[in-house]
Amino acid sequence: MRALGLLCVALLALPIVGLLATVEWSTLGQSLTAHSALIALRLSLLTALAATVLSLLVGLPVALLMARAPAGSMLLRVARTLVLLPLVLPPVVGGIALLSTYGRRGLVGPLTEALGIDIAFTTLAVVLAQTFVAAPFLILTVEGALRARGTAYEATALTLGASPTRTLATITLPLLAQSLGAGLVLTFARALGEFGATITFAGSLQGTTRTLPLEIYLAREIDQDSAVAMSLLLVMVAAVIVAIAYRSPGAEGLRRSLGRTSSADDTAGAPAGAPADEQTDAEEHTAPATPATPPALATPSSPALDARIVVPERGVDLALHVPAGQTLAIVGPNGSGKSTVVEVLAGLVAADDGHIRLGDDVLLATSRASGTKGTEPSAARPGVTTVRSRAPHLRRVARLGQHPLLFPHFTLEGNAAFGPRSEGAGRSAARDQARTWLDRVGVGRLASRRPYEVSGGQAQRVAIARALATSPQLSLWDEPFAALDVQSAPQLRELLARELAGRTAVIVTHDLADLRALADRVMVLEAGRVRQDVPLEEFLQRPAPGFAQRLVASD
C-alpha cells in the first residue's frame, strides 16, 4: 500500500515536473519581471484576497445553516444544490450567469447602473467571478467540520449561560480555526487560478481585469517561454501560500483535546513525559480539602422545580416535582427517556407540550393551541406555541454529563470562569471565582493547564467546578460518574454531594451508590412514563417491580 501511495504521489507531481522541464531558465528572470506579468500578479493577489474575504462573509453563515439543518431536510437539499452548482458547472457558464445578472442588461444590472455602480468588466466583476467559483470550497470544508464535531461544546456553553452570539464567537469559531484555515486556503488558491468565469464576465483589460491566468493565456499565443515562466510563478505563489497557511503551531494540542473523552483510566490524558507523581495524581483518590466558602460562593437560594414534559417522538410523557433544595434521582433502563428529561430541562431539546417552572418563574410553557395571548410560534415545532421567561436568572440551569466537554482552547481556569463571564462578571472577578472553585474541587494547582494536559478524573472535577461556578438555581447531572474508575468515582461523588447540599438538582444514574450519596427522592422511568416517584428510603425498601427491584437487589 505504501508503494502504491508513493506511485500516486509521483503521478500527481508529474505535471509539475513537466512544467519545470520546459522552463527556459536563461530568460526566466526577464519573463518574471516583465511589466505586464507584475501588474497581472498584483491584480491576481488583490482580487483573490478580496474574493476570499467575501467568501468568508457569505460562506460562513451558509455553512453554519447547512451544518445545523436536519439531515435530509428540504432546506439542506436546496442549499447544498446551490453550493455545489459552481463546482460542477463549466466556469464559462458561471461567467455567463453572472453577466446575465449583473450586466447592463442583466437581472439587476439596470438597478446598479441607476445607482452609479458598474459591475461587469470591472475589477469588482473579477472579485465576484472568483467568489462564485471559490466560495463552495470554504462552505463545504466548514460544513463538514461542523457536522463531524457535532454541537456538544455549543450546547455546554449555552447551559453555562452564554448567548448564541457569545457561543459563536468564543466556542464555535475558535474550534473551527483549523478547518476554517484549510477552507480559506482552498478558496484563495481556487480564486487565484480562476480563468473562465473571469474572462466571460470581466473581460481582459490590463491593470483592471487581466489577472495572471489571463495573462498566461494571452502570452501563450505569442511567447511560449513567457507563458511557462508565469505559470511557474503562479505555481510557486500558490505553493508558498498553502505551506504558510497550513502551518498550525497549536493544532496538535487542539486535536488531542477534541478527540479526548473521559475513560476509566484517569491517567490516559496525562501529557507524555509528565512526572510519575503527576501521572498517578494521588489527589484524585483523596478527598480534596474544602476551603472556607467565601460569601460570594455561598449556596444560592434554590427554588422548587415543577415540570410537565411531553416529547412524543421520544415516547416521553411525564410530570415531575423537586422540592426546593432537594435532589431528584431518575433511574430506569436504557431508552426510558432519562436523558431526554434532562435535555428538555436544560433547554437543549424542545418539548411538544408541557411546562417548566422554577419557583415563581416560568422557564418554558408550550401549548398546542396557536394564537394564545403572550405566546409565539416555536421554530422547532411548527404549530406549537412557546413562552420563555426573560428573567435574568433564566440561565442559571447548569448541566453536566458523563464526559467533561471542557473547551479545549481554554485553560482549566478559563473553563471554570466561562459561566461567570457569560453572566456578566468582569475578567478579574470571574478569574478569582474560577480559582476558588478549582481549589474546592482539588485541582487549583492545575489552573493554567489545558484540558488535554490533565487526566480524565481531573477533567471531570473541572467540569463540576465550571457547572457550579455559575451559582445555578437548578443543577442537572446526567451520569457524571459513569466513565470514571472505581477509585475516582467515590471521591467525586462525595465532592458533588457536598456541593449540591441545599441546591435543587436532578441526577440521572444507573448506580445505587449515587442514589445513596446524592438523592432525596427517586423517580423510576420506564418507556417514557413514571413508574415510581418516592423518597429514597421508600425506594430502597419497596422498589417498583422490574428494573427498580433489580437495581436495589444488585447492592
Instruction: Say if residues 451 and 438 touch (Cβ distance below 8 Å).
Output: no
Supply 234's cell numbers.
503562479
What pLDDT is attached to residue 245?
A: 62
Residue at 529 is within a domain: yes
Residue 292 burial (10 A CB sphere; 0-12, 13-18, 19+):
exposed
Q: What percentage of the chain reaches a pLDDT higher than 90?
A: 32
Quick one: CA dihedral 11, 15, 18, 19, positive or negative?
negative
Residue at 377 is within a domain: yes
What pLDDT is attached to residue 97?
A: 93
pLDDT tens per residue across span 229-239: 888 888 888 78
DSSP 299: P
527-538 mean pLDDT? 91
3-7, 122-126, 372-376, 526-530: segment of lowest average pLDDT: 372-376
Alpha carbons 255 and 248: distance in angstroms, whole number:
11
Is it the case that residue 248 has pLDDT exceeding 90? Answer: no
Q: How many domains does one find in the chain?
A: 3
On whether both 411 and 372 belong to a single domain, the answer is no
On whether both 126 and 155 belong to a single domain, the answer is yes
468-495 mean pLDDT? 81
Indicate the pLDDT class of residue 378, thresholds 50, 70 and 90: very low
Q: Which domain holds residue 148?
A: 29-249
On whether both 418 and 505 belong to a single domain, the answer is no
On whether both 392 and 456 belong to a single domain, the answer is no
Residue at 284 is within a domain: no
Is it the case that residue 400 has pLDDT exceeding 90? Answer: no
On whether both 335 and 462 belong to a single domain, the answer is no
Q: What percentage of the chain reaches a pLDDT higher than 70?
A: 83
80-84, 417-421, 480-484, 489-493: segment of lowest average pLDDT: 480-484
Instruction: Say if residues 344 and 311 touch (Cβ distance below 8 Å).
Output: yes
On whether both 449 and 509 belong to a single domain, the answer is no
Q: Which residues contact 28 (CB under 8 A, 6 or more apart)?
A: 229, 232
CATH number of the domain enclosing 548: 3.40.50.300
Is the pLDDT higher at 159 or at 80? 80
Alpha carbons 157 and 172: distance in angstroms, whole number:
10
What pLDDT is attached to residue 365?
A: 67
| 154 DSSP β-pair partners | none
pLDDT tens per residue across span 27-36: 888 877 888 8
Instruction: Say if residues 334 and 528 touch (Cβ distance below 8 Å).
Output: no
What pLDDT is attached to residue 64?
A: 92
On whether both 242 and 106 belong to a single domain, the answer is yes
The residue type of 470 is: T
The residue type of 484 is: L
On whether both 135 and 191 belong to a single domain, the answer is yes
Degrees to nearest 5, angle at CA 484 with 481 and 487: 105
Alpha carbons 451 and 446: distance in angstroms, whole number:
10
366-375 mean pLDDT? 43
CA 350 to chain centre: 20
Is it the case that residue 262 has pLDDT exceeding 90? Answer: no
What pLDDT is attached to residue 210?
A: 92
On whether both 137 and 237 belong to a single domain, the answer is yes
Alpha carbons 18 and 252: distance in angstroms, whole number:
36
Indicate the pLDDT class of residue 414, thresholds 50, 70 and 90: very high
Last residue of a domain, one of 424, 455, 471: 471
Look at the block and give the residue holding cell 500500500: 1
Of the candidates 374, 341, 406, 372, the one whose C-alpha atom is nearest the C-alpha of residue 157 is 406
Of the candidates 399, 402, 406, 404, the one whose C-alpha atom is nearest the C-alpha of residue 483 is 402
CATH number of the domain enclosing 79: 1.10.3720.10
Alpha carbons 165 and 464: distance in angstroms, whole number:
24
Is it the case that residue 145 has pLDDT exceeding 70? Answer: yes
154-168, 265-279, 351-365, range with greatest mean pLDDT: 154-168
Q: Where are the alpha helices (DSSP H) in 441-487?
A: 456-468
Residue at 239 is within a domain: yes
Is it the case that residue 253 has pLDDT exceeding 60? Answer: no
Is it the case that residue 372 has pLDDT exceeding 80? Answer: no
| 341 DSSP β-pair partners | none
Instruction: Encode 114-131 in three state secondary structure.
Output: HCCCCCCCCHHHHHHHHH
Instruction: Say if residues 172 and 164 touch (Cβ distance below 8 Å).
Output: no
Last residue of a domain, one of 424, 445, 471: 471
Indicate the pLDDT class of residue 424, thresholds 50, 70 and 90: confident
Is the pLDDT higher at 374 or at 447? 447
Indicate the pLDDT class of residue 366, thresholds 50, 70 and 90: low
Alpha carbons 200 and 100: distance in angstroms, whole number:
11
DSSP 287: P
Last residue of a domain, one of 471, 495, 516: 471
Is it the case that residue 410 has pLDDT exceeding 90? Answer: yes
Indicate the pLDDT class of residue 522, thresholds 50, 70 and 90: very high
Alpha carbons 272 and 290: distance in angstroms, whole number:
30
Is it the case that residue 298 has pLDDT exceeding 70? Answer: no
Is it the case that residue 52 has pLDDT exceeding 80? Answer: yes
Indicate the pLDDT class of residue 247, thresholds 50, 70 and 90: low
pLDDT tens per residue across span 184-229: 988 998 999 899 999 999 998 988 999 999 989 888 888 888 888 8
What pLDDT is attached to residue 104?
A: 85
Is it the case that residue 17 has pLDDT exceeding 80? Answer: yes
| 506 DSSP β-pair partners | 328, 476
Alpha carbons 492 and 509: distance in angstroms, whole number:
14
Residue at 296 is within a domain: no
Residue at 73 is within a domain: yes
273-297 mean pLDDT? 44
Is it the case that residue 302 has pLDDT exceeding 90? Answer: no
Alpha carbons 196 and 218: distance in angstroms, whole number:
13
On whether both 320 and 440 belong to a single domain, the answer is no
For the sheet with 361-367, list strands across it. 316-322, 305-311, 353-358, 361-367, 385-387, 376-377
Residue at 63 is within a domain: yes
Is it the case that residue 386 has pLDDT exceeding 70? Answer: no
Instruction: Say if residues 479 and 402 touch (Cβ distance below 8 Å).
Output: yes
Indicate the pLDDT class of residue 264, thresholds 50, 70 and 90: very low
Residue 138: strand, helix, or coil: helix
What pLDDT is attached to residue 267?
A: 34
What pLDDT is attached to residue 481?
A: 82
Is the pLDDT higher at 63 or at 364? 63
Look at the block and give the residue holding cell 457569505: 58
Instruction: Say if residues 376 and 407 touch (Cβ distance below 8 Å).
Output: no
On whether both 544 and 450 belong to a single domain, the answer is no
Residue 80 burial (10 A CB sphere; 0-12, 13-18, 19+):
middle
Residue at 83 is within a domain: yes
Supply 169's cell numbers.
464567537
- Using alpha carbons only, how large is the chain's radius of gyration in Å? 30
pLDDT tens per residue across span 122-133: 999 999 999 999
Look at the block and give the residue holding cell 471554570: 416
Residue 241: strand, helix, or coil: helix
320 membership: H or E segment, kind and range? strand 316-322
306-326 mean pLDDT? 90
Mean pLDDT (the chain) is 81
On whether both 56 and 181 belong to a single domain, the answer is yes
Of the candidates 333, 392, 355, the one whose C-alpha atom is nearest the C-alpha of residue 549 is 333
290-308 mean pLDDT? 62
Alpha carbons 99 and 47: distance in angstroms, whole number:
18
pTM of the model: 0.75
Supply 489's cell numbers.
468515582
